[in-house]
């Protein structure tokens, strides 16, 4: 959601700003803009609704010249996605330009106050109050000190923000600050940079600094970055992260889209995650901040997540309850946050699952769990993300940058991270012997090769995708852990193909959704060779009896399913039925992608969606 970039230095700013915005496209947006300051203090802005590619064309025609500037991709919250509402926004004198990620909750009150003082506004955004407030401070108490003016202005804000600001009175100076929305800065030989996340910086530096809430950074053309805190005191040791993703990891590398690339990267992602995890203490999970004794005492686990990560939570629950015998509750963060009666025990542990580490609902929930005295353990993909910084311990899934909005490789890597956690807990509390834990770990090690085999069968998904032509809706069914596979498959299909998909535990279908089924209605049934196989087969029969066209996701050699289904997406046998979701979901990711492409959609940037949802 909204991307911020900024640069001041020796090279022309517009070119890097546009490249930086392009790498932030994955966050989801509907308009974009840049503002460049020339050394003589001319502000030149270009902005438009639509893609960065459109902005690039307009910038090429306008040719904004200057070595300092800011850029933005906007995901509309206040005001429609139009040229006028796109960032950057200017103050009343046209000297100060601002980009902003987040939401200003008290903007209406501020706007009224500023209008009463003679300010006029040209957009419908909450953001526009910020440059006007900076103008008030700049011409007033903070005269000549842009950092002080930005700090004064932000002191008036309620809500969340990552803000970058330039001013024609101080042409090479760029000031940025944050509260609740991520922002990183970097100092290099050719200048200083800021960005919403490390992705745009991966090509320019391997070392970035993280701002804490209310820190204000002043970036200078010689590359100097000076950070002060809320009270204006110098921050001597800002927290730093080393980027270990090389820039090429965020490039297509021969694939037609990032979703295809990321689906294909799943085996290697799991291999990285599992490497060196079996050691002399059993499962090595030093990322946990609890001692073995404290782990053994955990008597309840609350998993907090949203969307696809919530589905990981459902699988994690099954693994933890089965292997570690600890009761688990899985909560949608957005629901948990408004459940005032939530109960925890003295030894409740909270597990936060979030690919981006920036999902606003999840962060709020995690803070609340900490406030309730729980140890918070984060499973995330993004180095230095807010979830990682605010948790007691963090397990990075090391899946590499996930650019496509629809999560794929992060889903399976988070799932395997959860299996590791379950095994570690089982060992700590004695519910499993070490030999048994090791056996399960070795079963996890077989997953990458099974994934490779599923990936080699992608033609099956392409073929099955044809059954969705001309359809308006579909039903995904599965039992036990594969009800979750059905939920995730349906979510993927909805996200990128805009085709309605309902997902249900197969046995629950007859209590309502069966009414949807008529001749030719597509049903995807996840029906592995597991302990509920016969039950799911009966549900498939019920669908067939009403004319459904059934696509099965089944274990190799299942003749019974082959006879019933119009298409079967075959999965090699797995050592433990708990692991089937990790590999079977690849078929459903591929299926969704083929259906979406068949319908002519951009699978990487589905409409209305954002990669990291930083508003509640
Ligand atoms: C996944 O395909 C979705 N785009 C979405 O449901 C996502 O999983 C959700 O917004 C949570 O994101 P997070 O893992 O970054 O917290």
Q: Give, for ligand 1, the residue of 307, 313, 351 to mutate: max count of ligand atoms closer than 8 Å to Cβ.
A: 307
Question: What is residue 245's predicted lDDT score, i.e. its pLDDT?
Answer: 64
Q: Of 196, 166, 156, nearest to 178 (Cα)?
A: 196
What distance in Å separates the CA atoms of residue 354 and residue 378, rounded to the nearest whole number? 8
Q: Of 412, 409, 414, nearest to 395 (Cα)?
A: 414
Question: What is residue 247's predicted lDDT score, i.e. its pLDDT?
Answer: 64
Question: What is residue 300's predicted lDDT score, i.e. its pLDDT?
Answer: 97
pLDDT digits 0-9 by tens, 223-279: 999 999 999 999 988 888 887 766 667 788 889 999 999 999 999 999 999 999 998
Distances (CA, A) of 379 to 35, 312, 376, 400: 37, 10, 10, 14
Please give the structure tokens belonging to residue 198. Answer: 């490390």
Cα dihedral 330, 334, 335, 338, rounded to 10, equals 130
Q: 61: CA distance to ligand 1 center in Å?
A: 37
Sorted by where each starts, the structural domains of the chain and their CATH numbers stand as 3-247 (3.60.20.10), 258-445 (3.40.50.10490), 457-598 (3.40.50.10490)
Q: 612: CA distance to ligand 1 center in Å?
A: 7
Q: What b/e readout covers 467-476, taking b as 16+ CB neighbours within 10 angstroms?
A: bbeeeeebbb
Pocket of ligand 1 (CB under 6 A): 306-309, 354-356, 359, 362, 405-407, 495, 609, 612-613
Question: What is residue 246's predicted lDDT score, i.e. its pLDDT?
Answer: 65
What distance in Å separates the CA atoms of residue 101 and residue 75, rounded to the nearest whole number? 9
What distance in Å separates the CA atoms of residue 144 and residue 113, rounded to the nearest whole number? 24
CA 597 to chain centre: 22
User: Is 167 one of the catalytic residues?
Assistant: no
User: Atom 4, ligand 1: which residue's CA is nearest?
Assistant: 406
Which stretches of the chain drop beneath a pLDDT of 50?
Answer: none
Determine how many CB atoms are found less than 10 A away from the CB of residue 510. 12
Determine how many CB atoms are found less than 10 A away from the CB of residue 148. 19
Q: 55: CA distance to ligand 1 center in Å?
A: 27
Question: What is residue 139's predicted lDDT score, i.e. its pLDDT?
Answer: 84
Considering the entire predicted model, what is its pTM?
Answer: 0.85
Question: What is residue 77's predicted lDDT score, i.e. its pLDDT?
Answer: 87
User: Is 154 one of the catalytic residues?
Assistant: no
Q: Which of 317, 492, 494, 611 is catalytic?
A: 611
Q: Which of 2, 154, 167, 374 is catalytic?
A: 2
Q: 445: CA distance to ligand 1 center in Å?
A: 26
């Amino acid at each position: 959601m909204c991307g911020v970039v900024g640069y001041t230095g020796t090279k022309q700013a517009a070119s890097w700003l546009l490249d930086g915005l392009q790498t932030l496209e994955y966050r989801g947006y509907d308009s974009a803009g840049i503002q460049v300051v020339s050394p003589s203090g001319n502000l030149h802005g270009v902005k438009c609704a639509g893609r960065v590619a459109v902005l690039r064309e307009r910038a090429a025609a306008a040719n904004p010249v200057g070595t300092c500037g800011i850029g933005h991709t906007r995901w509309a919250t206040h005001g429609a996605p139009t040229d006028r509402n796109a960032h950057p926004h200017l103050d009343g004198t046209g000297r100060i330009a601002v980009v902003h990620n987040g939401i200003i909750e008290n903007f209406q009150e501020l706007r009224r106050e500023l209008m009463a003082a003679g300010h006029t506004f040209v957009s419908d955004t909450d953001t526009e109050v910020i440059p006007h407030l900076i103008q008030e401070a700049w011409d007033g108490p903070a005269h000549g000190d842009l950092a002080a003016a930005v700090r004064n202005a932000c002191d008036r804000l309620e809500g969340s923000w990552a803000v970058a600001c330039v001013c024609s009175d101080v042409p090479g100076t760029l000031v940025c600050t944050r509260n609740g929305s991520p922002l990183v800065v970097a100092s290099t030989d050719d200048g200083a940079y800021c960005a919403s996340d490390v992705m745009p910086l991966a090509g320019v530096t391997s070392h970035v600094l993280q701002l804490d809430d209310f820190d204000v950074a002043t970036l200078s053309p010689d590359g100097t970055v000076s950070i002060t805190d809320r009270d204006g005191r110098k921050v001597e040791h800002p927290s730093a992260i080393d980027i270990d993703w090389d820039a090429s990891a965020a490039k297509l590398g021969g694939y037609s889209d990032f979703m295809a690339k990321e689906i294909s990267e799943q085996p290697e992602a799991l291999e990285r995650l599992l490497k060196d995890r079996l050691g002399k203490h059993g499962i090595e999970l030093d990322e946990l901040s609890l001692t073995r004794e404290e782990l053994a005492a955990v008597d309840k686990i609350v998993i907090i997540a949203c969307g696809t990560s919530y589905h990981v939570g459902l699988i994690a629950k099954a693994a933890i309850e089965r292997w570690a015998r600890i009761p688990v509750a899985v909560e949608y963060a957005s629901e948990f946050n408004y459940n005032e009666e939530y109960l925890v025990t003295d030894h409740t542990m909270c597990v936060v699952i979030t690919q981006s580490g920036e999902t606003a609902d999840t962060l709020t929930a995690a803070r609340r769990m900490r406030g309730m005295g729980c140890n918070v353990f984060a499973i995330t993909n993004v180095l230095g993300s807010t979830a990682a910084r605010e948790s007691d311990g963090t397990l990075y899934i090391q899946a590499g940058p996930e650019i496509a909005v629809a999560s794929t490789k992060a889903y399976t890597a988070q799932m395997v991270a959860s299996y590791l956690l379950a095994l570690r807990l089982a060992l700590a509390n004695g519910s499993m012997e070490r030999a048994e834990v090791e056996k399960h770990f070795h079963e996890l090690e077989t997953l990458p090769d099974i994934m490779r085999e599923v990936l080699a069968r992608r033609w099956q998904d392409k073929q099955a995708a044809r059954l969705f032509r001309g359809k308006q809706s579909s039903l995904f069914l599965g039992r036990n852990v594969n009800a979750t596979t059905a939920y995730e498959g349906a979510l993927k299909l909805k996200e990128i193909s805009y085709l309605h998909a309902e997902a249900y535990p197969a046995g629950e279908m007859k209590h309502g959704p069966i009414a949807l089924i008529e001749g030719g209605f597509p049903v995807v049934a996840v029906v592995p060779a597991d302990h509920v196989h016969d039950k799911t087969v009966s549900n498939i029969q019920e669908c067939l009896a009403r004319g459904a066209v059934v696509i099965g996701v089944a274990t190799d050699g299942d003749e019974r399913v082959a006879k019933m289904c119009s298409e079967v997406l075959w999965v090699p046998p797995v050592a433990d039925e708990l692991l089937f979701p990790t590999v079977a979901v690849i078929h459903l990711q591929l299926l969704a992608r083929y259906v979406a492409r068949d319908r002519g959609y951009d699978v990487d940037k589905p409409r209305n969606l954002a990669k990291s949802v930083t508003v509640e």
